[in-house]
Amino acid sequence: MPKLKARLEVLLFMARQPLTLEQLARYLEVSGEETQRALTELAGEYAAEEHGLQIVNVAGGWQFATKPECAKPLELYLNAPQEFSLSPAALETLVIIAYRQPVSKSEIEAVRGINSDWIVKSLQDKELIEEQGRSENIGRPLLYGTTAKFLKHFGLRDLQDLPPEPNIQMQAQPELIAAGLQKFAAGQTAELAFSGEIKTTDLV
């Protein structure tokens, strides 16, 4: 039973939505009766006051939830400014958007030479870029540009503070691109120099 409860705990912790008893039993590869016993024991343990989480039955399934009396620290954490880092590939994409905005995803990919769907979505989630209308070209693709949070993150008053536009090429030395992008990320105003041949790898 201890090992079963440990596996159940991990499953409930990682689940993104409530899991039914049948689903839990299937994933744990045990019977419904065994799952129910383990669930009852585990829920009892988490009901103790030393735990900030509880196991609740909601929407026909089971999941972890924060105890009401412990919600305040989580609320403060979620509302606090979040720090984040950007991979070389994300920085490369951000540089292209910063200098070419408003720019479509296909134009970004023409420079990078690689699919950029995931990175563009990631930059949107970080609120560094946003949709800025649609292009008049065939298909009217979405156009992207930087945000006020982008300026704040890089310590820029406005887009005029960007260093001279780098020579972004489709093929260049990866180490040169990385060095140039790190200069940009550090908020330096020195020219970002990209030269040679490059073949970028989608690191996120």
Confidence band (pLDDT; 50, 70, 90) for 197?
very low
Amino acid present at 143:
L
Domains of the chain as residue ranges with CATH: 2-77 (1.10.10.10), 88-185 (1.10.10.10)
Beta carbons within 8 Å of 161's beta carbon, 6+ residues apart: 151, 189
Say whether pLDDT at 183 is over 60: no
Confidence band (pLDDT; 50, 70, 90) for 150?
confident
In this prediction, residue 189 carries a pLDDT of 32
> What's the pTM?
0.46
Query: Does residue 10 sit in helix, strand or coil?
Result: helix
